[in-house]
């Protein structure tokens, strides 16, 4: 008999269980931590620029040819494009879940190359980028000026040169980018009247700038062939691209008849400014530039966020002393992930404690209770090793599966223990003999229990669609823990029974005696009611029909959703003005919105973008978007402090105080990357 081998060799059975336990403990340290499994479809972004063109022109001349060419690429689900007033076009292509994003990017890039010839010359000159787009935003870091003395152009360029590349090199960071276009740029403000008087056109200026702002090889002195031999050869280093406004001002447009030169500064004003002026950011009312940090696929979100925080503290120590600049993590998705995982772990521990208390209550022997206390952790912790082998992660669904599995895996141990005690009590056999006989009787049922439970949960992993992907890890985690539980019930549990159990009599006084008396009375009444309904089948049928009808009615009345809306400790706010509104108008509304947000008792901090539309992910001069961080959950236990309450308050105040805009506050989506906002 299989179990007899382990009953006679308890050390061997203990070693097997310890190996399973150690494998699980090691796996816990290696598994990624996230809120949900990877449910979002891979996306590829195609971006192009057509400066000066209207959104309609961009849609017709840039987006349409690209869409026609990309349409039908392998494993594509859908695509959508946005054309903004600043000349940018973004085509987002979504693929089936499980598609290799690298291969998808190659396929899309090949399609894009086929459409390049049909695009306007300016678009081809600026270039078309094809990149993997991560929907798993991890954090938004606000780089801001506490005293308001440093402008966003300076802050943005400092971030681009000194922060972003460092963040990209961190383990787990898929991408980091400055979410503005405030790069330094030489801006040439033409004087049309003077230009016309000098008989020049804008194209003449463009040609002169392109010709004189170029890097060219000037050749070498002493390079063969030469009529005479020389001892040295020198490379000529000539001035290349211009770097300062003064150098641009001295670009020669033409030579005058009197021998003088017409310079660029004679017909235009040159300054060092920002590449665009279509975006304004502020953190708690201070000028700010947002840095978006994105998670790489399969990375540990919590560990990556901690690494980013630690690295930003190091970088902040090197901020220039004469630069009025500081940083804050304005939006952090891992706070809710950590809180969710912590709550599930608490539930897991509480469930194990309750199970052991119930087992002790009915078995009335600490020795018998100790056996499932030792066996159950092996099954639960060992399941993490299976999760690692299957490529799963520690998330709310896998942990919920383990919570549910506790009640199942303890059954295997209880079946063995009860049968051993029954044989010892009824047949008077010794512990070892009773254990061997008990395993002869229950080995088959234990295996049957495992197979039945696996037959219930394993098919869930083969369900199609989003539901199947979502609950695959949930079901397989339960199945793995149940299989390990069956193995432990056939190896470790009988060995522990033979070592720990002793014959005991039923209690004749005390708490357990009183409990037995109460339970016997309850059992008697229960069997009486069962007998009553067995003799009256029509009555039983009517009651069952009423229960079924009531459940069906409640099923239709109770609202349903894929996932419940939870207080994630964060909010998003989008405000829309009239389509013709300028950036200055949006900035003024953004300032009003910030005052409303910061006046809420539950709000900790906020980051507002004027000129950015969160719903479409594009820059629009008539849009404002805000990311709002609420105070910790422990500080918001009072009535009216939940995220839903704050949303209602913001909407109500904005409705009366900002009549010029439609303000829409809302909670973040339950699954990032599965909604319009992320």
Q: What is the DSSP string of 420-471?
A: HHHHHHHH---HHHHHHHHHHHHHHHHHHHHHHHHHHHGGGGG--HHHHHHH
Compute CA distances 73 → 64, 70, 100, 464, 644, whole Å.
15, 6, 13, 22, 41
pLDDT at residue 376 is higher than 90: no
Instruction: For residue 166, name the pLDDT band (cuts at 50, 70, 90).
Output: very high
Q: Residue 495: phi, psi to the nearest 5? A: -65, -40
Contact call for residues 593 and 663 (beta carbons, < 8 A): yes
- Same structural domain, 352 and 490: yes
pLDDT at residue 637 is higher than 70: yes
Query: How many Cβ atoms from other residues are within 10 Å of residue 366's Cβ?
Result: 10
Residue 400 lies in a domain: yes
Residue 211 lies in a domain: no
Residue 493 lies in a domain: yes
How would you classify the pairing of strands 570-576 and 268-274? unpaired
- Same structural domain, 529 and 456: no
pLDDT at residue 584 is higher than 70: yes
pLDDT digits (tens, 9 = 90+) for 395-414: 888 888 888 888 888 888 88
Residue 219 lies in a domain: no
pLDDT at residue 135 is higher than 70: no
pLDDT at residue 71 is higher than 90: yes
- Residue 394, judged by CB atoms within 10 A of its CB (0-12, 13-18, 19+), counts as buried
Q: Rounded mean pLDDT of 30-42?
A: 81
pLDDT digits (tens, 9 = 90+) for 248-287: 999 999 888 888 899 999 999 999 888 777 788 899 989 9
pTM above 0.85, yes or no: no
Residue 605 lies in a domain: yes
Which residue in 73, 161, 155, 153 sits closest to 113, CA to CA?
73
Total domains in the chain come to: 4
Q: Rounded mean pLDDT of 217-238?
A: 82
> Can you give the CATH number for the domain in which 60 is found?
3.30.70.1430
Which residue in 614, 612, 628 sits closest to 667, CA to CA?
628
Instruction: Give the pLDDT of residue 4.
Output: 81
> Can you give the CATH number for the domain in which 427 is found?
1.20.1640.10
User: What's the mean pLDDT when you consider all of the chain?
Assistant: 86
Instruction: Give the pLDDT of residue 672.
Output: 67
Instruction: For residue 90, name the pLDDT band (cuts at 50, 70, 90).
Output: confident
Residue 60 lies in a domain: yes
Of 134, 155, 188, at which residue does a domain stop? Answer: 134
Contact call for residues 385 and 20 (beta carbons, < 8 A): yes
Distance CA 397, CA 470 (A): 8
Of 134, 169, 200, at which residue does a domain stop? Answer: 134
SS3 624: strand
Contact call for residues 289 and 144 (beta carbons, < 8 A): yes
- Residue 257, judged by CB atoms within 10 A of its CB (0-12, 13-18, 19+), counts as exposed
Residue 154 lies in a domain: no
pLDDT at residue 676 is higher than 70: no
Q: 334-363 and 396-427 helices cross at what angle (nearest 10)?
A: 10
Distance CA 403, CA 410 (A): 12
pLDDT digits (tens, 9 = 90+) for 305-356: 999 999 999 999 999 988 889 999 999 988 888 888 888 888 888 888 888 8
Which residue in 48, 69, 46, 71 sits closest to 58, CA to CA?
48
Contact call for residues 216 and 176 (beta carbons, < 8 A): no
- Same structural domain, 360 and 443: yes
- Same structural domain, 459 and 598: no
Residues 6 or more apart whose CB falls under 8 angstroms from that of 552 comprise none
- Full domain range(s) for residue 625: 570-666
Structure tokens at 406: 């506790």
User: What is the full DSSP assignment across 164-213?
Assistant: HHHHHTSTTEEEEEESS---EEEEEEE-HHHHHHTT--HHHHHHHHHHHS
Hey, which of 217-231, 493-507, 570-584 has the most confident mean pLDDT? Answer: 570-584
pLDDT at residue 126 is higher than 80: yes
Instruction: Give the pLDDT of residue 219.
Output: 83
Residues 6 or more apart whose CB falls under 8 angstroms from that of 557 comprise none
- Same structural domain, 483 and 604: no
- Same structural domain, 350 and 467: yes
Q: Rounded mean pLDDT of 536-556?
A: 90
Neighbouring-strand partners of residue 639: none
Distance CA 224, CA 173 (A): 52
- Same structural domain, 532 and 608: no
Query: How many Cβ atoms from other residues are within 10 Å of residue 390's Cβ?
Result: 13
- Residue 616, judged by CB atoms within 10 A of its CB (0-12, 13-18, 19+), counts as middle
Instruction: Give the pLDDT of residue 313.
Output: 94
∠ CA(454), CA(460), CA(464), 5° rounding? 155
pLDDT at residue 154 is higher than 80: yes
Residues 6 or more apart whose CB falls under 8 angstroms from that of 68 comprise 115
Residue 272 lies in a domain: no
Instruction: Give the pLDDT of residue 386.
Output: 92
Of 134, 161, 190, at which residue does a domain stop? Answer: 134
Instruction: Give the pLDDT of residue 127.
Output: 87
Neighbouring-strand partners of residue 606: 628
- Same structural domain, 353 and 487: yes
* Percentage above 70 pLDDT, the chain: 97
CA atoms within 13 A on the CB side of 321: 0
Structure tokens at 152: 């966003």
- Same structural domain, 376 and 491: yes
Compute CA distances 384 → 395, 449, 473, whole Å.
12, 21, 12
Instruction: Give the pLDDT of residue 579.
Output: 82
- Same structural domain, 489 and 534: no
Instruction: Give the pLDDT of residue 608.
Output: 92
- Same structural domain, 9 and 98: no
pLDDT digits (tens, 9 = 90+) for 480-497: 999 999 999 999 988 988
- Same structural domain, 394 and 474: yes
Supply the DSSP symbol for 317.
T
pLDDT at residue 678 is higher than 60: no
Query: How many Cβ atoms from other residues are within 10 Å of residue 354's Cβ?
Result: 12
Contact call for residues 377 and 450 (beta carbons, < 8 A): no
């Amino acid at each position: 008999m299989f179990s007899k081998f382990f009953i006679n060799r308890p050390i061997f059975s203990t070693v097997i269980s310890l190996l399973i336990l150690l494998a699980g403990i090691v796996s816990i340290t290696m598994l990624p931590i996230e809120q949900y499994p990877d449910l979002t479809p891979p996306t590829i972004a195609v971006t192009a620029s057509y400066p000066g063109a209207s959104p309609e022109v961009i849609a017709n001349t840039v987006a349409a040819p690209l869409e026609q060419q990309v349409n039908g690429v392998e494993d594509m689900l859908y695509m959508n494009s946005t054309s903004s007033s600043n000349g940018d076009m973004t085509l987002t292509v979504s693929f089936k879940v499980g598609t290799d994003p690298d291969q998808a990017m190659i396929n899309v890039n090949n399609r894009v190359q086929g459409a390049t010839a049909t695009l306007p010359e300016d678009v081809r000159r600026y270039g078309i980028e094809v990149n993997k787009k991560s929907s798993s935003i991890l954090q938004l870091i606000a780089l801001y000026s506490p005293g308001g003395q440093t402008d966003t152009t300076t802050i943005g360029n400092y971030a681009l040169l000194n922060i972003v590349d460092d963040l990209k090199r961190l383990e787990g960071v898929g991408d980091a980018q400055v979410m503005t276009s405030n790069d330094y740029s030489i801006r040439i403000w033409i004087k049309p009247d003077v230009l016309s008087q000098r008989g020049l056109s804008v194209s003449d200026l463009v040609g002169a700038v392109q010709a004189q702002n170029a890097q060219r090889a000037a050749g070498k002195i002493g390079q063969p062939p030469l009529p005479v031999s020389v001892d040295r050869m020198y490379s000529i280093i000539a001035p290349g691209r211009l770097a300062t406004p003064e150098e641009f001002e001295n670009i020669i447009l033409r030579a005058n008849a009197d021998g003088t030169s017409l310079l660029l500064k004679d017909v235009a004003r040159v300054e060092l400014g920002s590449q665009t002026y279509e975006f304004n950011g502020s953190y708690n009312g201070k000028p700010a530039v947002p840095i978006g940090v994105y998670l790489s696929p399969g990375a540990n979100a919590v560990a990556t966020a901690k690494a980013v925080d630690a690295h930003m503290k190091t970088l902040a120590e090197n901020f220039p002393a004469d630069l009025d600049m500081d940083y804050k993590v304005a939006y952090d998705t891992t706070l809710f992930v950590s809180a969710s995982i912590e709550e599930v772990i608490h539930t897991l521990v509480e469930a194990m404690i309750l199970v052991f208390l119930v087992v002790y209550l009915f078995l009335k022997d600490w020795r018998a209770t100790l056996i499932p206390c030792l066996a159950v952790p092996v099954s639960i912790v060992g399941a993490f090793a299976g999760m690692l082998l299957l490529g799963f992660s520690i998330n709310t669904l896998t942990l919920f599966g383990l919570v549910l599995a506790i009640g199942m895996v303890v059954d295997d141990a209880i079946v063995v223990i009860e049968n051993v005690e029954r044989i010892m009590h009824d047949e008077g056999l010794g512990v070892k003999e009773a254990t061997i006989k008990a395993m002869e009787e229950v080995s088959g049922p234990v295996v049957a229990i495992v197979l039945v439970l696996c037959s219930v949960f394993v098919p869930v992993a083969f369900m199609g669609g989003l539901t199947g992907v979502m609950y695959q890890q949930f079901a397989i985690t339960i199945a793995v823990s149940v299989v390990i539980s069956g193995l432990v019930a056939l190896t470790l549990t009988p060995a522990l029974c033979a070592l720990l159990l002793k014959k005991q009599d039923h209690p004749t006084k005390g708490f357990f005696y009183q409990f037995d008396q109460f339970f016997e009375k309850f059992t008697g009444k229960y069997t009486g009611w069962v007998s009553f309904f067995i003799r009256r089948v029509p009555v039983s049928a009517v009651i069952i029909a009423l229960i079924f009808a009531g459940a069906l009615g409640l099923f239709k009345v109770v609202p349903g959703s894929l996932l419940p809306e939870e207080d994630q400790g964060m909010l998003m706010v989008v405000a829309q003005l009239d389509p013709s509104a300028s950036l200055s108008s949006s900035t003024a509304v953004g300032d009003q919105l910030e005052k409303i947000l910061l006046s809420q008792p539950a709000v900790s901090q906020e980051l507002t973008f004027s000129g950015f539309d969160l719903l479409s992910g594009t820059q629009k001069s008539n849009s404002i978007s805000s990311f709002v961080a609420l105070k910790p959950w422990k500080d918001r236990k009072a009535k009216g402090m939940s995220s839903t309450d704050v949303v209602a308050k913001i909407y109500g105040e904005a409705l009366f105080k900002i009549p010029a805009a439609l303000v829409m506050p809302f909670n973040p989506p339950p699954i990032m990357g599965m909604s319009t906002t992320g």
